[in-house]
A and B are shown apart, each in its own frame.
Chain A
Amino acid sequence: MIPNRHSRESGNPGFEAVMYLDSRFRGNDRSEMCSMNTKKLSEVERIKQESNFLRGTLSISLEDPITGAVADDDTQVSKFHGIYQQDDRDLRKERRQARLEPLYSFMLRARIPGGVVTPDQWRALDRLSRTWANGTIRLTTRQAVQFHGIYKENLRPLIRGLEDALLDSIAACGDVNRNVMCNPNPASDRLHREVQYWAERLSEKLLPASDAYREIWIDPERPPAPGSESGTGVRQAEPLYGPTYLPRKFKTVVAVPPVNDVDLFAHDLGFIAITDPGSTSGTGNDRLLGFNVTAGGGMGASHDDPETHPRLADVIGFCPPQALPEVAEAVVSVQRDYGNRSNRKRARLKYTIEDRGLGWFVREVQRRLRVPLEQARPFDFEHTGDRYGWTEEVGGRRHLTLFVENGRLRMRQMDGLLEITALAGGFRITANQNLIIANVAAGSKEQVDALVEEYGLDRHLRARPVRLNAMACVALPTCPLAMAEAERYLPELVDRVEERLAAHGLENEAITLRMTGCPNGCARPYLSEIGLVGKAPGSYNLHLGAAFNGTRLNRLFRENLGEAAILETLDDLFARFAGERETGEHFGDFLIRAGIVAPVAEGRESRLIQEVEYAA
């Protein structure tokens, strides 16, 4: 069924203005549409509407010599180009006293579907960071690369450098589909090539079509192409998104069981690769049958809004590989048409599904597909981590997965990786912010090992499992949303957690531990066995009881804990875990079985401290 795109019939004239631009993209459910649009649109909706397909006044802002910032509205528009305006919050006070504006800089996220980059691209990323950013590279939880500390005048040269390396930052942020994730190291290389192909197809399919990116960053001198949106006002630029794009960010992943490294259930749209059960792992001949489709996952929540919460995605069916782009488009278009555009805190697909019901949602998606989704196929996930160290594939390809703490590569490590580019067939960024040196020839293995050791890239050999399974977002000092430290603080906290684990003989236990500086969930803290979500400097909410394989959310356990209280609470639980666990039982599962944490059946429960008395 093809979405019905007839324009809206006469209705309440009061809604006309609001309805006009979205009407041709909407379905035919008039009553739904009307009720939704009686609410005032959020400010960002106005900005998108007025941005003329993501142009805003960015070109003028870039030339403004009085400030290192861009105009207020442009801070929203720039996100669609992969750029966030930030400032060094550590310096705010000093600069305010000096009558200087905040030290504005920009974070730029390069779009890297599936985290796959060539050696040449890696060299470019390295060089661009050293030349135009702060000389570090941050691997993100979405397998992208972030540059930090880019001053306004350096944005264009950096983006042109990406362009030269066949990379871009289009839609790496903003109310659009963001970087498409994909397992970068499944058991079979052939399978990787297949799923990676589809990940890239998805990425291209869901990219905004506006020419604004090229116009603003790459080629400002070139006149707009005839008939393009900026030249003639012909508004055909965004056949999928329309002029106001999506109500909120949209995240898409591809997972390859049995590894759930991408945290499949945390995303708006997911695809689980289903292979021929007769030919699983190791043989190199896995045949890709198709994908289970998942929808409605998401991490973000607000401390002060009980209507917000993380939610796990639902599995809604199965489709053959070729149907993937069409399915993606259908899901995106449902969210485009029905997502909440008045309250950004409840604008993700997860709330659209929650508010309207999963049945309605699946029907709406099916209605927009030529071939309906089939019954979902069985699958099983074991864990959410990476396969550290060397993995060798049939045919002699070798990949080395390195542990990169919180995804931050500093100068020395970058130096080492730069040397290694000569020996690698490529690099892959994992969903756990780690890095894979891919396709190393058999003869180069020792040389790579030597370089890895020389440049301190070999922490995967020494770090304890809890560190290898830990993640933090960037937080302070640059993230404007951060309420507490994360990346800068987690390493020390892990030191102390390790001590407590060791005290109970648990030092070799793999436990997922994730920390974020705010409740928005960049490091997916609600899916970790121990989740720490920042509330204020030095103060965190402690979440416990998620599944090790990413299939169950954790639950808020204690609020506003400082370090001492965190460690004390964990120490008690580690003691019980050490004494009462069953063989092979994970920490999160134990907490549930022992009744210490009540399982979260629905997302909204996750923010409720359980009523069960913890003392037993």
Chain B
Amino acid sequence: MAASPDWQPRLQQSLDPLAEQMSEQELLWASGYLAGVAAARGEHHSSAVESIPAAEAAAGEVLQIWYGSQTGKGRGVAERLAGEAQARGLNVELSDLAEISPRQIRKVKLLTLVVSTHGEGDPPDDAESLYEYLHGEQAPKLDRLRYSVFALGDSSYEHFCQTGKDFDTVLEKLGAERALARADADVDFEPASETWRTGVIEAFAEAGQAVQAPQTRLSVVPDSVPSWNRDNPWQAEVLASSPLTVAPSGKTVHHVELSLEGSGIRYEPGDSLAVWPRNPRPLVEEFLGFLELDETAPVQVNGDELPARAWLSERLELTQLTRPFLEQYAQAAHPDELKALLDDSGQLRAWIERHQVIDVLREFPAEWPPDVLFAMFRRLAPRSYSIASSPLATPDEVHLTVRTVGGWQDEQLRAGAASWHLNSGLKPGEHADVFLEPNKRFRLPDDMDAPVIMIGPGTGVAPFRAFVEHRKALGAGGRNWLFFGEQHRRSDFLYQIEWQRHLKSGALHRLSPAFSRDQEHKIYVQDRLREQGREVYDWLESGAYVYVCGDATRMAPDVEQALLDVIAEHAGIDAERAAEYLKTMKRQWRYRKDVY
């Protein structure tokens, strides 16, 4: 490209005010859009853009970067890789798995795949079709393919990075050549991501080298790191954090209001907000006391030096136990006892849920130099919460619905770091470090008249508060039906008064609550779906969009089964055709999940 042609300042002048109003995500989209337009013109009117080489002009193979993840982390890794590979002169194409057809893989020569794992080792929704295609009878031969997989997971779950492992294995089985060993990244994925990205670029550098300047389609990463991200979070003032549950509820759920004023962050209902936790102060004190550490004592971990308190409160994961940590721990202390625990995966899982890092230190005591111990800990990572507010209803604010995980046990605090931070640690006027995690998979339909069915038990109701507020603010004509579930109507009917008002004002058309413990036999949202199956089916037939948010392990599959049953029963079709019906809905974006 010629240096500073004379049209450049003029164009820049027009673009700057526009760019100023755009969020990070919008900028990304716009750059991709313009590149796409250029590419399209290149195909048909190459003379008009002769100074910009079109993709077709490249001699090198295109490095496909495909990602599939529910939370946006995978996309982040993929986008970074795309940017860096491009900077190295590679010809890349970045795609969301949701947007490609599985059969496309047959023509790909260079592939990097970034995938996360959910629930019981399940692939994310977007990766499902590729997963099934590669594992099915129609699976292609892939002997021309070179690939590498980046697996995202959470080592506190039993099936850590399972989806990534499955893809890695099946690709090899189908004849593809592994160009670089798979990387399994934990919640604290950044270090692993960096290593892997560097490795990928080296491994594919030659084959993917563009003859001329690189060209990407759809999406590119701008040179500068966009503001307010994981590494540079927005410091959001806490406006309020107050309980939505009252005694004798077995849960503590808070409504948390954060300020976005001045951040320029723009979100849409359905997006998530990631929050950097701080470990609970009482827990940090307990660590310092137990380790007999002076809070100011400098500790060096992997080359970084910080005072002990800073490590414990801001840097290290103290509230989630993981299998790798226990494995490492067992190498140095109580190997037999811990091995017995590690060998019984069923028991281990339950044990990990009931214990925290400090409990391991207490139950399996050993002399640890702080730097050795700290090096074994996972780094503290942000947690995502589905946003519970509409920017139209409460501009400059973002609301979250946060359930406190754990709590005081006798005299000791055993709570989740982020939920404790938001619900009990922070006081109004203090700040939380946050950044936006857009979730395009979970957006209201563009059609304002389309009916919407929302299924959100527990804190899964959060995005639906946003949905209803948003549709109300937009004056959308479509009907809204909410299925909510909790244990008790009297003590944990989240946002009860608001729903009552929305019902009265007509913003919400139906509300079907399921309170599991208000009667002898337990009733869940899926039971309500079946009970009202006739009407649910009528709504589906009139084009309803179905959204599910909340627990991925049990609720989401149960709800899906209920939907299948409802479809089968009321359409008078068999299970297989009901599954097709739902699949069609999925393809039409009319069945969406935000489950965790």
Contact = CB atoms under 8 A, between A and B. Distances in A.
Given A65-B489, A68-B489, A151-B490, A100 B496 contact: yes
B244 interface: yes
Contacts of B489: 65, 68
Contacts of A193: none
A101 B496 contact: yes
A99 B503 contact: no
A98 B493 CA distance: 10
Contact of A99 (B495, B513, B515): B495
B242 interface: yes
Interface in A52-98: 65-68, 91, 94-98
Given A65-B489, A153-B519, A98 B242 contact: yes
Contacts of B497: 96, 99-101
A499 to B, nearest CB: 37
A100 B494 CA distance: 7
A182 to B, nearest CB: 39
B518 A100 contact: no
B512 to A, nearest CB: 8
Nearest to A100: B496
B511 interface: yes
Interface in B467-502: 489-491, 493-500
Contacts of B490: 68, 100, 103, 151
Given A66-B500, A66-B511, A95-B246, A100 B519 contact: no
A97 B499 contact: no
Q: How large is the interface on B (under 10, 10 to 19, 20 to 34, 35 or more residues)?
A: 20 to 34
Contacts of A68: 489-490
Given A65-B489, A66-B503, A103-B490, A94 B246 contact: yes
B245 A98 contact: yes
Which of A66, A68, A91, A153 has the most chain B CB atoms closer than 10 A to its own CB?
A66
A91 B513 contact: no
Contacts of A100: 244, 246, 490-491, 493, 496-497
B391 interface: no
A100 B500 CA distance: 10
Nearest to B242: A97
Contacts, number: 45
B496 A99 contact: yes
Contacts of B255: 99
Contacts of A153: 518-519
A135 to B, nearest CB: 15
B298 interface: no
A67 B245 contact: no
B425 interface: no
A153 B489 CA distance: 11
Nearest to B493: A100
B335 interface: no
Which of B246, B491, B511, B513 has the most chain A CB atoms closer than 10 A to its own CB?
B246
Interface string B227-263: 0000000000000001111100000000100000000
A508 B215 CA distance: 103
Contacts of A66: 496, 499-500, 503, 511, 513
Interface in A130-164: 151, 153
Contacts of B500: 66-67, 101
Contacts of B499: 66
Contacts of A94: 246
Contacts of B242: 97-98
A340 B470 CA distance: 50
A299 to B, nearest CB: 34
B499 to A, nearest CB: 7
Interface string A232-244: 0000000000000
B118 to A, nearest CB: 31
Contacts of B518: 153
Which of B243, B489, B513 has the most chain A CB atoms closer than 10 A to its own CB?
B489
Interface string A97-109: 1111101000000
Contacts of B513: 65-66
A29 B244 CA distance: 60
Contacts of B246: 91, 94-95, 98, 100
Contacts of A95: 246
A94 B493 CA distance: 14
A101 B519 CA distance: 20
Contacts of A65: 489, 512-513, 515
A67 B242 CA distance: 22
A91 B245 CA distance: 12
A95 to B, nearest CB: 6
A237 B95 CA distance: 75
A151 B518 CA distance: 11
A65 B511 CA distance: 9
A102 to B, nearest CB: 10
Contacts of B511: 66
B510 to A, nearest CB: 10
A66 B494 CA distance: 11
B231 to A, nearest CB: 35
Contact of A98 (B244, B503, B512): B244
21 contacts: A65-B512, A65-B515, A66-B500, A66-B503, A66-B511, A66-B513, A91-B246, A96-B497, A97-B242, A98-B242, A98-B244, A98-B246, A99-B494, A99-B495, A99-B496, A100-B244, A100-B246, A100-B490, A101-B497, A151-B490, A153-B519
Nearest 3 interchain pairs by C-beta:
A99-B497, A100-B496, A99-B495
Given A66-B503, A100-B491, A100-B493, 6 more contacts: A66-B513, A97-B242, A98-B243, A100-B490, A100-B496, A101-B500
